[in-house]
Amino acid sequence: MMKNPVMIVLLSTLMPMAMAQDGGVYFSHKNWEIACDNTHTCRAAGYSDEDESSGSVLLTRLAGPGTALSGEVVLTEMVADEVAPAEKLTLWINNKPAGALTAAEEGYWRLSASQIRSLIKAVKGSSKVEFKGGATAFVLSGEGAAAVMLKMDDVQGRIGTPGALVKQGNRPESSVPAAIPPPVIQAVKISKAQERPLTAPEIAALRPKLLATLEQDECDLMQPSEDRDEELMMLTPLSGNHAVISALCWRAAYNEGQAYWVIDNALAESPVLVTTSGTDYSEGVISYSHKGRGLGDCWGTASWVWDGQAFRQESKATTGMCRYIHLGGTWHLPTFVAEVKPAR
């Protein structure tokens, strides 16, 4: 049975990809999760209990000494159409108001520095945290919060410093490691030639080479079978002496994945696998976008950019837990980021 790549991401079993080094961290515990990218920027998301699904909080902290947290709140939009959006949202802790939030982009709200401090202290303990102003109160769960915040401190090297969220100490703030610069990818101009289907003789010659790059249980739809029609394999010229080959790899209930390889234009050399979960190739970029479930309230995405020699990983992210908050996903939680310089 083929695995769902989005659920693999959400379970923090990150799929190995050719030409990519995933330096990020994903961790979840109960009603909280954290994604730290390869620069060590960390984003922690907390939710209501799963049977309530009334909203989410996102706490973001850049790596490096002396950095402060920013905080955002969103309420579920997946309610009846006649429910008007909140015009004001107020933080309550232990049934006492702790100030109104600042409206940000539509449907999102910003927490002040003092509200973030109060919220963190509350969810690490047993205090009740609510956001009032929507159709129903959003009660933020504290289950899993301490473990996720400890993970943030650990990834960013803050344990034992005054700025740690969980285990403060006297280790100097200057000892906190600086942020790691993202990798830089120089994109190149791509050939304007159109894609074409591979011929039957080309497929027959290439199939063993392509299958040799895969794990034993990958790409069941590429295996020869008398029970189905032959699937198309496409070739798209890149730049110079390289081309992209794509073939349908797997189908699931609400996702499908294309396998993508780089090969020489003469189809003589060994192909190099980029991903078995792609959903699109366009102008030197291979990417995927997969639902975590059929409803479409949680997604996993990734992309790779051609630099003239290989496809280099540009991004990898999810939109957070599947909690019935927003169609299209709630947050952007990357575990890998890169700086792409446009083709000259």
Please give the biggest Cα pair distance in the chain. Answer: 74
Alpha-carbon gap, residue 287 to 314, rounded angstroms: 9
Number of domains in the chain: 2
Per residue in 250-307, pLDDT tens?
999 999 999 999 999 999 999 999 999 999 999 999 999 999 999 999 999 999 999 9
Region for residue 330 given its phi and psi (left: phi exceeds 0; alpha: psi -120 to 50; beta: otherwise):
alpha
Let me know whether 13 and 157 are in one domain: yes
Supply the pLDDT for residue 225. Answer: 75
d(CA 27, CA 44): 9
Element (H, E) at 202: helix 200-211
Does one domain contain both 113 and 188?
A: no
Cα separation, 342 vs 344, whole angstroms: 6
Q: Are residues 136 and 225 in the same domain?
A: no
Q: Last residue of some domain: 157, 175, 193?
A: 175
Asked if residue 136 and residue 219 are part of one domain, the reply reads: no
What's the whole-number mean pLDDT along residues 16-37? 78
The reply to whether 228 and 256 lie within a common domain is yes
Q: For residue 123, what is the DSSP state? A: H
Same domain, 250 and 138: no
Q: What is the DSSP letter of 169?
A: -
Residue % of the chain over a pLDDT of 70 = 91
Q: Which of 122, 156, 175 is the last residue of a domain?
A: 175
Q: What angle do CA 39, 315, 32 make, to 5 degrees?
A: 70
Q: Are 25 and 44 in contact (CB under 8 A)?
A: no
Q: Which of 175, 204, 226 is the last residue of a domain?
A: 175
Which of 63, 67, 47, 66 lies closest to 55, judged by CA?
A: 47
**pLDDT digit string, tens, across residues 240-263:** 899 999 999 999 999 999 999 999
**Dihedral (CA of 147, 33, 252, 310) sign:** negative
Over the stretch 56-111, which tens digit does the pLDDT of each residue have? 999 999 999 999 999 999 999 876 455 678 899 999 999 999 999 999 988 899 99
Q: At residue 306, what is the residue type?
A: W
**Residue 223: predicted pLDDT:** 84
> What angle separates helix 145-156 from helix 113-124, to the nearest 10 degrees?
120
Distance of CA 226 to the CA centre of its chain: 38
Please, are residues 340 and 185 in contact by the beta-carbon 8 Å criterion? yes
Q: Give pLDDT, residue 323.
A: 96
How confident is the prediction for the chain on average, in pLDDT? 91
Is residue 171 located within the same domain as residue 188? no
Work out the end-to-end distance of the chain between its first and last CA atoms, rounded to an integer number of angstroms. 44
CATH number of the domain to which 167 belongs: 2.60.40
pLDDT for the residue numbered 6: 42
- Report the distance separating Cα 336 and Cα 16, nearest Å: 13
Using alpha carbons only, give the angle 129, 158, 115 rounded to the nearest 5 degrees. 25
Q: Are both 54 and 10 inside the same structural domain?
A: yes
Q: How confident is the model at residue 20 (pLDDT cuts 50, 70, 90)?
A: very low
pLDDT at 21 over 80: no
Query: Do 163 and 15 share a structural domain?
Result: yes
Identify whether residues 329 and 270 lie together within a single domain.
Answer: yes
Domain that holds residue 52: 5-175
109-137 pLDDT, tens digit each? 999 999 999 999 999 999 999 999 998 99
DSSP code at position 143 = T
Q: What is the pLDDT of residues 180-224, one digit of tens each?
A: 999 999 999 999 989 999 999 999 999 999 999 999 889 999 987
**Same-domain pairing of 63 and 107:** yes
Q: Which of 292, 286, 295, 334 is nearest to 313 (CA)?
A: 286
- Which of 123, 157, 108 minimizes the C-alpha distance to 44? 123
How far apart are alpha carbons 245 and 97 in whole angstroms?
Answer: 59
Residues 211 and 80 in one domain: no
Look up residue 56 and give its amino acid: S
Tokens of 125: 């303990």
